[in-house]
Amino acid sequence: MGITENVAAIKERLEKAAPGRRVLLVAATKMNDADRVRQAIAAGVDACGENRVQELLEKHGQGAYTGRPLHFIGHLQKNKVRQIVGVADLIESADSRDLLRRIDARAGELGIIQDVLLEINIAGEESKSGMAPEDLPGILAYAAGLGAVRVRGLMSIPPICEEPGGNRPFFARMNELFVDIAAKKYDNVSMDFLSMGMSGDFEDAIREGANLVRVGTAIFGARPYPPKTDESASRSARL
């Protein structure tokens, strides 16, 4: 099937997983060119999400995302903040006070309010970015005092799990955090979006409360990663 048919099939699955509930479909467009991004938009995705700053800027310059909000969904390095703030409508991967401070400073320079999600490392994996759940209250209190950043919710990427439904406990824990924060009503913080779930597990994420899913492979097909050289394979084994 092509992109149009894939998006239609995914939307049917979203409706079945969340009857009567609105779930936003974010097309994870990494390694897909501007034309394929436009096809996904024409097919009806709700937003586009990019993992890499350089790729985002290149396709943004080509008008690839016209007509849909643009999310940055990858790890945001501090030295890339100036390039992303004001270009991405939503930064889904704010994960520290320092990063929030830098986003706030750049947004202040531009005279805008930058929307962000706080990324949670829900399983405590050393290989992944995101703050620990226990750090969340302090960072929320810090964010409440910022003038040019607005927290719109939470994001998480749980561990890779081979067993069907294996990530549901992590998704459920994220939803508990989401509901708890919403009840506390921090200043400058609104729990509008709970972003979790990708191509292999978005239905489980939705059943546990997600209202935004990031789907790439199920829309575009497998990404054409280059084969690993002996050197890159060795490096991957060390990471």
What is residue 232's predicted lDDT score, i.e. its pLDDT?
44
Helices 34-43 and 3-17 meet at what angle, rounded to 10?
A: 50
Place of tokens 């546990």: 208
Contact (Cβ atoms closer than 8 angstroms) between residue 178 and residue 212: no
pLDDT above 70 for 108: yes
Q: What are phi and psi of 154, to 5 degrees?
A: -125, 155
Q: What percent of the chain has pLDDT over 70?
A: 94
- Give residue-wise pLDDT tens across range 45-57: 999 999 999 999 9
DSSP letter for 82, please. H
CA 87 to chain centre: 15
pLDDT above 90 for 233: no
Q: Dihedral of CA 196/198/200/204: which sign?
A: positive
Q: In which band, very low, low, confident or very high, does the pLDDT at 228 lie, cut at 50, 70 and 90?
A: low
H or E stretch at 83: helix 81-84
Q: What mean pLDDT is predicted for residues 62-89? A: 98
User: What is the number of other CB atoms lying within 10 angstroms of the CB of residue 185?
Assistant: 9
Q: What percent of the chain has pLDDT over 90?
A: 85
Q: What mean pLDDT is predicted for residues 34-40? A: 98
The model carries a pTM of 0.92
pLDDT above 70 for 234: no
CA distances from 51 to 77, 176, 204, 208, 214 (A): 11, 26, 23, 24, 11
pLDDT above 50 for 231: no
Tokens at 215, concatenated: 């789907």
What is residue 236's predicted lDDT score, i.e. its pLDDT?
36
